[in-house]
Amino acid sequence: MADKKAKTKAEKEDPKLTLINNLLSGYVDKLPESLITELREKLYKLELNEEQMRKIVEEVNKAYIRALVEPGEAAGTVAAQSVGEPGTQMTLRTFHYAGVRELNVTLGLPRLIEIVDARRTPSTPTMTIRLDDEHKYSLEKAKEVASRIERIAIENIAKSIEYDMVNSSFIIEIDEEIAQDKGIELEYVARALERLKVGNVEIEGNNIIITPTTTSPDKIKRLRERILDLRLKGIKGIKRVLVQKEGDEYVLHTDGSNLSAVLQVKGIDPHKVYTNNISEIAEVLGIEAARSAIIKEAFQVLDQQGLDVDMRHVILIADLMTCTGKIRQIGRHGVSGEKSSVLARAAFEVTVKHLLDAASHGEEDALEGVTENVIVGQSIPLGTGVVELFMRFPKEGA
């Protein structure tokens, strides 16, 4: 707010800025915002007279009009090719260290496929969490927040777990050092185990002894898994948290992702929490956020591989995936499967099913797409094919 006021004030005192703004005011609706800003900055920096400035702005406007897309342009095909073609050049190597050395993140072609597939969970979910002013400058406090997030189960702090056949009870030996490091007390563990309601819980030195009510070997086996997996602390799904110093602040990187739960943790900056799990973003923050996430993730993959792809192509794909308000997969279960044309669907995958369904529903294919028209042998409605106006020649001799 204060910034804005200062700006208008500066404008009042600066005739040059007023002049530039006046010049540009006629183009506000015509040119994209980024271009206007760029022009304003560049014109301001240079010593030019009004005539020169006017000419520059006019020329820029002309150049912009020249750069516009033409109606009928096969924007979709170009986007698909532009994203698909570099795929052949990408590495298949799944893992790479992205920023944090200790964390593996899927990158390259597998990650790109994951994004267009709109998978529920990525193969390597990860979050980047920034902390609020109180916690971000101190390692101690950052670690404190981290311990609130990192999920600790019995298996993380137990040295061993054995089943005593004689007394038919589990003996869990807790690694005191680790437990202390994670800030977990023995009693706390015992109480958590009690809440499982599987039997009697006792503390004996460093050991916790559970005597289950059941003795059937099958159930004991399953019980063991349940005990090991018992959450003592932290957030479901977050396997590990790393505290990393970036610049002068501490940032948390996680292995595993759970956006809705992390947002409620004290000490984080909820405006600066990021996850690479797109469907989670869609659920918690809405479809527009998911669209941005798709663009960001896909573009990052391409960029990281050193592949130069125009942002507009990625944006189009993201828009297509999200334009219905839900994330749709690029493929049989999403965009391609929901096409209105029977022939287009049949030509893609699961041919017979689509044809049979179309027959029983009495569907009509209006032949508006590309594949359908190729199939029946007509010109496709793209590019020069969208023109439906023809000239009527006078008949010869008439």
Partner 1 sequence: MSVNDIAKSIKSIRFGLLSPEEIRKMSVVNIITADTYDEDGVPIDAGLMDRRLGTIEPGQKCQTCGNRVGQCPGHFGHIELARPVVHPGFAKTVYLTLRAICWNCGRILLKKEDYDKYVQLMEKYRRRWPQLRHKLAEKIMKRASKLQECPYCGREQFKIKFEKPTTYYEEHPEGNVKLAPSEIRARLERITDADAALLGLDPQMARPEWMVLTVLPVPPSSVRPSITLESGVRSEDDLTHKLVDIIRINERLKENIDAGAPQLIIEDLWELLQYHVTTYFDNETSGIPPARHRSGRPLRTLAQRLKGKEGRFRSNLSGKRVDFSARTVISPDPLISMNEVGVPIEVAKLLTIPERINKFNIDEMKKLIENGPDNHPGANYIIRPDGRRIDLRFPKDRKTIADSVEVGYIVERHIKDGDVVLFNRQPSLHRMSIMAHRVRVLPYKTFRLNLCVCPPYNADFDGDEMNLHVPQSEEARAEALVLMLVQEQILSPRYGGPIMGAIQDYISGAYMLTKKTTLLTREEASQLLISAGYDGELPPPAIKEPEEMWTGKQLVSLFFPRDFNYTLKANICQKCGQCKKEECPHDAYVVIRNGVLISGVLDKKSIGAGQPESVLHRLVKDYGTDMGRIFIDKAFKLFLSYIDSRGLTIGLDEEELPKEAKEKIRMVVEEAEQKTAKLIQIYNEGLLERLPGRTLEETLETKIMQELEEAREKAGEIASQYLKETNSALLMARTGARGSLMNLAHMVACVGQQSVRGERINRGYQNRTLPHFKPGDLGARAHGFVYSSYKDRLNPIEFFFHAMGGREGLVDTAVRTSQSGYMQRRLINALQDIRVEYDGTVRATDGSIIQFKYGEDGVDPAKSDHGKAVNVDKIIEKVVGAGVI
Among 106, 128, 257, 341, binds partner 1 (CB under 8 A): 341
Site track for partner 1 across 103-122, x = CB under 8 A: x-----xx-xx--x------
Among 14, 50, 73, 229, binds partner 1 (CB under 8 A): 73
Q: How far is the CB of 328 from partner 1 (least distance, A)?
A: 9
Under the binding rule (CB under 8 A), the answer on residue 220 touching partner 1 is no
Whole-number Å distance between alpha carbons of 124 and 277: 9
Joined together, the tokens standing for residue 142 give 């950052």
Interface region with partner 1, contact rule CB under 8 A, candidates 49-57, 129-137, 191-199, 261-269 = 49-57
Among 227, 251, 281, 343, binds partner 1 (CB under 8 A): 343
194-213 binders of partner 1 (CB under 8 A): none
Among 20, 24, 83, 184, binds partner 1 (CB under 8 A): 83
Dihedral over alpha carbons 255, 331, 88, 73 (to 10 degrees):
-120
Please provide residue 105's backbone torsions phi and psi, each rounded to the nearest 5 degrees.
-130, 135
Q: How far is the CB of 266 from partner 1 (least distance, A)?
A: 23
Q: How far is the CB of 210 from partner 1 (least distance, A)?
A: 29
Pairing of strands 152-153, 95-97: unpaired
Which residue in this structure is represented by tokens 């703004």? 21
Q: Which helix (H) or strand (E) holds 268?
A: strand 268-275
111-170 binders of partner 1 (CB under 8 A): 112-113, 116
Among 4, 13, 15, 88, binds partner 1 (CB under 8 A): 88
Pairing of strands 104-106, 207-212: unpaired
Half-sphere exposure of 65 (CA within 13 A, CB side): 8
Q: How far is the CB of 255 from partner 1 (least distance, A)?
A: 8
What angle (nearest 5°) sits at the alpha carbon of residue 92, between those of residues 311 and 129? 60
Under the binding rule (CB under 8 A), the answer on residue 48 touching partner 1 is yes
Q: How far is the CB of 229 from partner 1 (least distance, A)?
A: 20
Among candidate residues 95, 115, 98, the one with its CA nearest the CA of residue 106: 95
351-390 binders of partner 1 (CB under 8 A): 351-352, 355-372, 374-378, 381-384, 386, 390
Please provide residue 367's backbone torsions phi and psi, each rounded to the nearest 5 degrees.
55, 55
Whole-number Å distance between alpha carbons of 158 and 189: 10
Q: In sequence order, which residues have a C-beta less than 8 Å from that of residue 190 and are 6 or more positions away?
A: 201, 202, 203, 208
E strand map for 149-239: 152-153, 158-164, 169-174, 199-204, 207-212, 231-233
Q: Is the sign of the CA dihedral 294, 300, 301, 306 positive or negative?
A: positive
Please provide residue 128's backbone torsions phi and psi, each rounded to the nearest 5 degrees.
-120, 120
Q: What is the number of other CB atoms lying within 10 angstroms of the CB of residue 53?
A: 19
Size of the site for partner 1 (CB under 8 A): 116
Q: How far is the CB of 319 from partner 1 (least distance, A)?
A: 5
Half-sphere exposure of 158 (CA within 13 A, CB side): 23
Among 20, 24, 90, 235, binds partner 1 (CB under 8 A): 90
If the CB atoms of residues 6 and 350 are measured against partner 1, the closer one turns out to be 350
If the CB atoms of residues 19 and 375 are measured against partner 1, the closer one turns out to be 375
Interface region with partner 1, contact rule CB under 8 A, candidates 3-11, 228-236, 282-290, 345-353 = 345-353
Interface region with partner 1, contact rule CB under 8 A, candidates 96-104, 123-131, 161-169, 180-188 = 96-104
Among 27, 64, 163, 274, binds partner 1 (CB under 8 A): 64
270-329 binders of partner 1 (CB under 8 A): 308-313, 315-317, 319-320, 323
Whole-number Å distance between alpha carbons of 305 and 112: 11
If the CB atoms of residues 61 and 168 are measured against partner 1, the closer one turns out to be 61
242-271 binders of partner 1 (CB under 8 A): 242, 255
